[in-house]
Amino acid sequence: MDKITSDEDATSDSSTDDGSPTVDTREFAGHPPQSIADVRETYREQAAMIDRMSWLNRLLTGRYRQRLFGAASGRVLDVACGVGTNARYLPAGSEYVGIDISTEMLAKAEQRLEDHPRETRFYEMDAQDMKFPNDSFETVISSLSTCTFPDPAEALSEMGRVCTPDGQILLLEHGRSSVDPIARFQDWRADAHFEKHSCRWNQNPLKTVSQSPLTIVESSTALLGSVTAIKARPE
């Protein structure tokens, strides 16, 4: 795993001198955003559990990942890659680069993909302040991530910046169900879920992306409206 940094630490753009988030006046799905340091700590604590439960993640979302990320091409960036689940769903011949804010999650990803025939590289990096040059990737992918970014619009803007002008951004996101009893349960448990997992699980993914510079090309929902697949392009 490599760590790319600038003269300032990767977390600095997300907090003020006292450590509070610079976007503290904004709220998403009823929750004030956490800092990058908060998110990093959450996934330090939960990396082992997420790795153990990855089989369930694949069982529930694998078909949707395959359908969406199977359309990737060229050099592919996986933002908030976690334990590297998405790598298996990319077409043969594509180059895989994964970034995550959590060193523990990246370590699990490296272990999982150590013997994978695909060329893979991992970097510890803030999705809201990527250290890649403009137009570095033909495809940018991310899954179940916008719910955790302190500033989703900034992270999505960065995805657009590092994507080539004729490239694609492929997002598989979860959010508030279209089935009312499930949605009301999500709303009821939203505060507790956010407190434990740094996750806004009752967000509206399409609204989140529409508030960014990206242009939505196509979208679909599944699993009772709780999963949204989005194909987008840079501004």
pLDDT at 9 over 50: no
Mean pLDDT over the full length of the chain = 85
Kindly state the tokens that stand for 29: 């799905």
Integer Cα distance of 235 and 192 in angstroms: 35
Identify the DSSP state of 137.
E
Pairwise CA distance, residues 44 & 48, whole Å: 8
% of the chain residues with pLDDT over 90: 63
Span 189-210, average pLDDT: 88
For residue 33, what pLDDT is reported? 58
Strands (E), 111-234: 120-124, 137-143, 163-174, 215-222, 227-233
What local confidence, expressed as pLDDT, does residue 1 receive? 59
pLDDT of residue 32: 54
Indicate the pTM of the whole model: 0.83
Mean pLDDT of 193-220: 91
Residue that has been written with the tokens 């033909």 in this structure: 138
* Residue 8: Cβ-neighbour burial (10 angstroms; 0-12, 13-18, 19+): exposed
Backbone CA torsion sign across 2, 104, 118, 88: negative
Q: Which of 15-29, 96-110, 176-190, 213-227 has the lowest mean pLDDT?
A: 15-29
pLDDT of residue 2: 52
Among 42-46, 64-68, 185-189, the range scoring the smallest mean pLDDT is 42-46
Asked if pLDDT for residue 165 goes beyond 80, the answer is yes
Residue 95 above 70 pLDDT? yes
Q: Please give the pLDDT value at position 196.
A: 82
If DSSP codes are grouped into helix, strand and coil, which group holds residue 31? strand
pLDDT digit string, tens, across residues 17-56: 333 333 332 344 445 557 888 888 888 888 888 888 888 8
What domains can you pick out in the chain, each with its CATH number?
27-233 (3.40.50.150)
